Copies of this chain bind each other. A is one copy, B any other.
Amino acid sequence: MADIPLHRRIYEQLRKHISEGLYIEGSLLPSENELCSLHNATRPTIRKALDRLAVEGFITRQQGKGSIVKGAPKGVGILSITGTTLAIGSEKLDTKTIVKPEIRSWKKAFSFELTELEKEVGCIYFERLRLVNGKPVFFDITMIPNINLPRFVSRNHEIPSLFNMLREQYNIEVKGGEQKIMAVNANKTIQNHFQLKPDAPVIQLDRKIITSKPGFCFYSQVFCNAQEYALYGTF
């Protein structure tokens, strides 16, 4: 078996099935006991997977009735742990690299402070424009500490999905993060990318992303053209 915990594998499989429409919106998921048999697990394990699906808005649960499928969250689930690629779905998402990955020095990561080690090693910097159904919706700047990422810059000129890339090439899993959300007026650069009028409001997200590699975080600043796509979240 993989070393990915059982409850996480079950969560991911169920989420995939819901996203793909295998379970119809509004219908009921198999009961917890049925899922136990299906996955050879016990209820607490199944419930841990369902808890997470509920937190992320894929299902709601009703005592006495069952787990009601709500489908993949509408709008953009970018506020959750998933990266942009997963939140939007790669078939709808195009990525255009504005600034290719390069080594830079840094003293701060947007509104987040850095450790001394992070400052010393510098960062890998790149900018991407993300298009949903052909329309530019996200512009994101990413800064990754230049630690133990051999051949990152030379190997990756285009990065369609950072989360997948880190997992596949470096075995680094994203665990979570924190973010600040602001409303700002689009600057010239953003106006150009999103084709907006001056003073158009956009959402700015400053994110610190925590990984499975202890002490290894990376940072991104995302501007969202939230006139077309509202960000969406559950709580």
Chain A residues within CB distance 8 Å of chain B: 44, 55, 57, 60, 62, 73, 75, 79-81, 111, 176-185, 199-203, 206, 210, 214, 224, 226-227, 230-235
Contact = CB atoms under 8 A, between A and B. Distances in A.
A interface, by DSSP: helix, strand, loop or mixed? strand
Nearest to A62: B214
Nearest to A64: B214
Contact of A57 (B55, B178, B202): B178
A232 B179 contact: yes
A140 to B, nearest CB: 16
B79 A181 contact: yes
Nearest to A199: B199
A201 B224 CA distance: 13
A177 B80 contact: no
Contacts of A182: 203, 226-227, 230-231
Pick the most buried of A62, A203, A224, A233: most chain B CB atoms within 10 A of its CB.
Answer: A233
A55 B52 CA distance: 10
A120 to B, nearest CB: 23
Given A180-B231, A183-B201, 16 more contacts: A55-B55, A60-B210, A80-B235, A111-B230, A176-B235, A178-B233, A178-B235, A179-B233, A179-B235, A181-B203, A181-B233, A183-B202, A183-B203, A183-B224, A199-B199, A206-B230
